[in-house]
Amino acid sequence: MISQRKDDHVRLAVEQQHGHVGRNQFDEVSFVHHALAGIDRPDVSLATTFAGIAWQVPLYINAMTGGSTKTGEINRDLAIAAQETGVPIASGSMSAYFKDPSCADTFRVIREKNPDGFVLANINATASVEKAQRAVDLLQANALQIHINTAQETVMPEGDRSFSAWVPQIERIAAAVDVPVIVKEVGFGLSRESVLMLANLGVQVADLGGRGGTDFARIENGRRALGDYAFLEGWGQSTAACLLDAQGAGLPVLASGGVRNPLDVARALALGASGVGVSGGFLRTLMDDGVPALIAQISTWLDQLTALMTMLGARTPAELTHCDLLIHGSLRDFCTDRGIETGQYARRSGGFNTLTRMTGSTR
Ligand code: FNR
């Protein structure tokens, strides 16, 4: 049953990508253009560090799949793309492996095809500490993701209906495993309150996993005979909103959910993300056009992110957080209601781009 579900998820996620990849709240974030802010491309480094983790690039392939023959092939191809481009890669949920260890190869292939890369194992929040460590060991993983997905489980016909055990279990896992623990949402977003709780539970990183891309309420609803949970489609906070909400909540954050292009990557980094994850968009490229196309897409994104940073005057991903940003529309309304002052984002370069250049000083 699990392997059928994994195949369904891939099919329905790609179908969603084939629909209109529309606007989302990243469109309500724009950089103030400073015409003299540009620097020299060789001065730009994409390297990022957070929670003791060092990545050469701030872009990663986020959790998707494994557990069936077909999804094992997808993991193989994603891992080849990760190896070729140097981006970190996360496994899909490894529950299928705990239920049936004979599918181990469909996950292990991620490490086999990507022996030196940064690999993240992925489990749910009910996994025992022993299973969490087994997941890490199977992949020789560099970090562990725990996904939290109450909205998905609610719509999933065979989903969990009890969530109260997640909090203590996350704390136990975070205390026990020997790699950094990242808790991630799957496209409904982590609120500020959730991030504060995760910090208290001893988790090292929050992956905000917001709305705006793959919608798992829609996917699971597509697996229900009656499709009767249509009203939950679009549930949750966008990734841009989550980034604004989580500022100063005490954890380094990763941004994923609805990242469509290199400008969205730059926007997310400028809103404070230490790294930016993509799932559905990369899956679509792989399924439609194959591994060479995915490798080309990721390489182009990294190239164009470097170009944007050169234009914006950011030598590192962290320096993008000094760029002036305008927050518009419904995202601005969200900020108002959540007590987030948007004006500070519009003026935060402190005149760096003009004045410090004139005086020759650096940031
Ligand atoms: C996912 N996602 C996911 N997340 C997770 O933590 N464990 C998992 O097993 C899966 N499985 C999965 C399958 C497929 C086919 C897709 C497309 C996605 C969620 C994923 O990591 C991410 O949070 C969301 O897809 C939102 O990002 P995008 O797709 O909008 O870039």
**331 CA from centroid of ligand 1 (Å):** 23
State the average pLDDT over residues 229-242.
Answer: 98
Sequence-distant (≥ 6) Cβ neighbours of residue 105 within 8 angstroms: 72
Q: What is the pLDDT of residues 109-142, one digit of tens each?
A: 999 999 999 999 999 999 999 999 999 999 999 9
CATH 3.20.20.70 fits 2-359, yes or no: yes
Q: What's residue 357's pLDDT?
A: 55
Q: Is pLDDT at 360 greater than 60 in this prediction?
A: no
314, 354 contact by CB (below 8 A)? no
Q: What is the pLDDT of residues 155-198, one digit of tens each?
A: 999 999 999 999 999 999 999 999 999 999 999 999 999 999 99
Q: Which H or E run contains 316?
A: none
- The response to whether residue 72 sits with its C-beta less than 6 Å from ligand 1 reads no
**242 CA from centroid of ligand 1 (Å):** 17
Q: Is pLDDT at 362 greater than 90 in this prediction?
A: no
- The response to whether residue 258 sits with its C-beta less than 6 Å from ligand 1 reads yes
- The response to whether residue 256 sits with its C-beta less than 6 Å from ligand 1 reads yes
Q: What's residue 179's pLDDT?
A: 98
**280 CA from centroid of ligand 1 (Å):** 7
- Which amino acid type is present at position 185? E
Q: Is pLDDT at 358 greater than 80 in this prediction?
A: no
- Residue identifier of the C-alpha nearest atom 15 of ligand 1: 10
pLDDT category at 352 given cuts 50, 70, 90 is: low
- Which amino acid type is present at position 245? D
- The response to whether residue 283 sits with its C-beta less than 6 Å from ligand 1 reads yes
Q: Is pLDDT at 353 greater than 70 in this prediction?
A: no
What span, in angstroms and rounded, lies between the C-alpha atoms of 244 and 184? 17
Residue 314 CA from chain centroid, whole number: 22
**215 CA from centroid of ligand 1 (Å):** 9
What span, in angstroms and rounded, lies between the C-alpha atoms of 75 and 346? 41
**91 CA from centroid of ligand 1 (Å):** 10
Q: What's residue 21's pLDDT?
A: 73
